[in-house]
């Protein structure tokens, strides 16, 4: 089941890897990236960092400037190759089977990715395994109590390329109440924060 799901996700992202950054670098997507980097920076400075689902490296490149070491992993070869093209230490692989030793990292972070992982418990166990005791996990989930969730339900799947829509990839929504139940027993939930953006659609902030 997991293998089939990962194959589908890999094809999904490979298919539009060339257009992945279209619409990014400004507006809504840039604002979200800035918030994620701002939150991550205090934990990443001078440490060994892993980004799960690093994509083309837009966030990883910024973290790498302040970390002692920053590595990324992504399921899509087409997308990960672009991160490598930026000179970043990026590899191809699954967040459910990480190619790192136990406790190898100080910080493991993930943005916009875990929502597309059906086997979320395995992914979280792996993230905890490769992070040293006393280290940190910064993990982003999609919140079903959000305005964005409501907007997605009303509007339905949106196109992401000429022949793909958001319905072509698995998406989960985990409430703040549900997340503690997903975490491995050796992980302590310190806190969680919501990003309250009153912009349910990225197109609202699109360049004219």
**Cβ atoms within 10 Å of 19's Cβ, excluding its own:** 12
Predicted local confidence at residue 1, as pLDDT: 67
Average pLDDT over residues 189-199: 77
The CA-based angle 9-15-16, given to 5 degrees, is 105
Question: Alpha-carbon distance 137 to 103, whole Å?
Answer: 12
Predicted local confidence at residue 7, as pLDDT: 87
Q: Is 52 in contact with 108 (CB distance < 8 Å)?
A: yes
Mean pLDDT is lowest, of 45-54, 118-127, 156-165, 192-201, for: 192-201
> For 65-110, how does the pLDDT look when each residue is reduced to its tens digit (9 = 90+)?
999 999 999 999 999 999 999 999 999 999 999 999 999 999 999 9
Instruction: Decide: helix, strand or coil at residue 91.
Output: strand
Checking if the pLDDT of 206 tops 50, the result is: yes
H helix intervals, the chain:
2-15, 27-44, 58-64, 77-85, 120-129, 147-155, 179-182
Here the tokens at position 72 are: 């990324």
Question: Alpha-carbon distance 46 to 147, whole Å?
Answer: 36
Name the class of domain 2-205: alpha beta
């Amino acid at each position: 089941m997991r293998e089939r799901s990962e194959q589908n996700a890999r094809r999904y992202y490979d298919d539009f890897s060339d257009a992945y950054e279209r619409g990014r670098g400004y507006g809504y997507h840039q604002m979200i990236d800035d918030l994620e980097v701002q939150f991550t920076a205090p934990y990443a400075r001078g440490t060994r960092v892993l980004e799960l689902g690093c994509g083309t490296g837009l966030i990883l490149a910024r973290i790498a400037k302040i970390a002692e070491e920053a590595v990324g992993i992504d399921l899509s070869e087409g997308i990960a190759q672009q991160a490598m093209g930026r000179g970043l230490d990026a590899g191809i692989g699954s967040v459910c089977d990480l190619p790192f030793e136990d406790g190898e990292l100080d910080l493991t972070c993930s943005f916009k990715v875990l929502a597309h992982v059906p086997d979320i418990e395995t992914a979280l166990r792996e993230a905890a395994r490769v992070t040293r005791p006393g280290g940190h996990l910064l993990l982003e989930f999609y919140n079903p109590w959000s305005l964005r969730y409501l907007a997605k339900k009303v509007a339905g799947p949106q196109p992401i390329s000429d022949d793909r829509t958001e319905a072509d990839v698995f998406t989960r929504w985990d409430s703040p109440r549900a997340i503690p139940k997903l975490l491995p027993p050796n992980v302590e939930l310190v806190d969680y924060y919501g990003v309250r953006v009153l912009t349910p659609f990225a197109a609202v902030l699109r360049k004219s």
